[in-house]
Amino acid sequence: MRRIAIVTDDPGWHGARLKRAFAARGFESAYVSLTGCSIELEHAESPIDIPGFDAALPDGVFVRGVPGGSLEQVTFYLDILHGLKLLGIPVYNDARSIERTVDKGMTSFLLKLAGIATPPTWVTGDPDHARAIVRRELEHGHQVVSKPLFGSQGEGLRRFESPADLEQLESGNGVFYLQRFVPTGSEPHDWRVFVINGKTVAAMRRCGLTWLNNVAQGARCEPVRLDDLLLCRLAEDAVKTVGMAYAGVDIIRDLQGRYAVIEVNSVPAWKGLQTVSEVVIADLLADDFLSLCTATTSSEAAAR
Ligand SMILES: Nc1ncnc2c1ncn2[C@@H]1O[C@H](COP(=O)(O)OP(=O)(O)OP(=O)(O)O)[C@@H](O)[C@H]1O
Ligand SMILES: [Mg+2]
């Protein structure tokens, strides 16, 4: 039987859904923690050891989480994913696209460079410069959001509504990521658009309890039809820009009706989205991923 590694330290609902989808398609899968993998160069055939794979390499690697740690540890975990791809094994999403988007500063930079609408954003290590940016934005009538560079699920975000809030301006590990706040009206909301292999497969409107519209922060999920081409194309263009096989794109719309991408997630959750979607997202992911794993040559997989 062919074998898939699901890279995760916390399989949970998503891991179980993927495992079931793979099994239904004739693939056995195992949860793998990158903390247990090692580089073993004396093994010419499989110079990367993955626990549970008996010195053999998997047919594909589905990444559901890269653990945190020291800079050295995280670099090493990404080395494992880079190495597996170099060995011709499909890694989904691959280390390069994860690197680009775990770092919100690089995501914003790449989106802007590609001409994709995204709110004005600043990244700086200088506290005085950061304060000056927030002060200037406030003077011009804009509020500002600060985010941890590697944050997720709405944790650690702050909103600066007046100069008095400046006292709360703190860097996340020495770096300030600041973004112009996009007002969405008296009922805050944004969109999560799920893209697989370049196509939008599901989307929802997220209505937050506060201005944070993350499902993890209690936002309500509302179904949306996929006939809003502006929304879908913007999400698809964003995913193409960061080179991902699949992604969850966060999109916000200002009071003038203009959409902007605020984030592209390389390891997106889809539990909330699944509750308002007709398609079975784990099945679509499994089909797309396994089509890469069964591709006849490794170069075909690496070229995607
Ligand atoms: N510039 C902004 N203007 C208005 N609201 C924002 C802005 N940036 C973020 N938000 C709100 O905060 C939420 C979380 O922001 P963002 O998606 O950037 O980080 P995150 O969700 O913590 O990271 P991840 O998506 O990787 O889990 C958004 O869904 C949105 O509701
Ligand atoms: Mg988000």
Ligand 1 centroid – CA 111 distance (Å): 15
Phi (first) and psi of residue 229, to 5 degrees = -65, -35
Distance CA 169, CA 130 (A): 8
Ligand 1 centroid – CA 44 distance (Å): 44
Q: pLDDT value at position 55?
A: 76
Q: pLDDT value at position 303?
A: 53
| Residue list, CB under 5 A from ion ligand 2 | 250, 263
Nearest atom in ligand 1 to 262's CA: 18
Taking CA atoms only, the protein residue closest to ligand 1 atom 23 is 152
Is the separation of the CB atoms in 93 and 245 below 8 Å? yes
Provide the pLDDT confidence category of residue 302 given band limits of 50, 70 and 90.
Answer: low
Q: Mean pLDDT, to the nearest integer, of 213-239? A: 94
Pseudo-torsion of CA 270, 271, 273, 277, nearest 10°? 110
Is the separation of the CB atoms in 282 and 52 below 8 Å? no
Q: Could you tell me the domains of the chain? A: 2-93 (3.40.50.20), 121-180 (3.30.1490), 185-266 (3.30.470.20)
Ligand 1 centroid – CA 139 distance (Å): 23
Diameter of the chain measured on Cα atoms: 63
230-250 as b/e: b if 16+ CB within 10 A: ebbebbbbbbebbbbbbbbbb
Ligand 1 proximal residues by C-beta, below 6 Å: 119, 145, 147, 151-155, 157, 179, 181-182, 190, 208, 211-214, 250, 252, 262-263, 265
Q: Which of 150, 252, 259 is the best mutation target for the ligand 1 pocket, counting ligand atoms within 8 Å of the beta carbon and taking the most?
A: 252
Residue entry with tokens 């969109």: 191
Distance CA 38, CA 193 (A): 35
Taking CA atoms only, the protein residue closest to ligand 1 atom 2 is 181
Query: Nearest Cα to 155, choosing from 200, 83, 214, 227?
Result: 214
Q: pLDDT value at position 301?
A: 46
The model's pTM is 0.93
pLDDT at residue 299 above 60? no
Q: pLDDT value at position 266?
A: 94
pLDDT at residue 1 above 70? no
Per-residue pLDDT reduced to its tens digit, 79-136: 999 999 999 999 999 999 999 888 899 999 999 999 999 999 999 999 999 999 999 9
Taking CA atoms only, the protein residue closest to ligand 1 atom 14 is 154
Per-residue pLDDT reduced to its tens digit, 127-175: 999 999 999 999 999 999 999 998 788 899 999 999 999 988 988 789 9
Beta strands in 43-135 (DSSP E): 48-49, 60-63, 91-92, 121-124
DSSP, collapsed to helix, strand or coil, labels residue 203 as strand
Q: Which residues contact 196 (CB under 8 A, 6 or more apart)?
A: 245, 246, 284, 285, 288
Distance CA 80, CA 135 (A): 43
pLDDT at residue 222 above 50? yes
Mean of per-residue pLDDT scores for the chain: 93
Q: What percent of the chain has pLDDT over 70?
A: 97
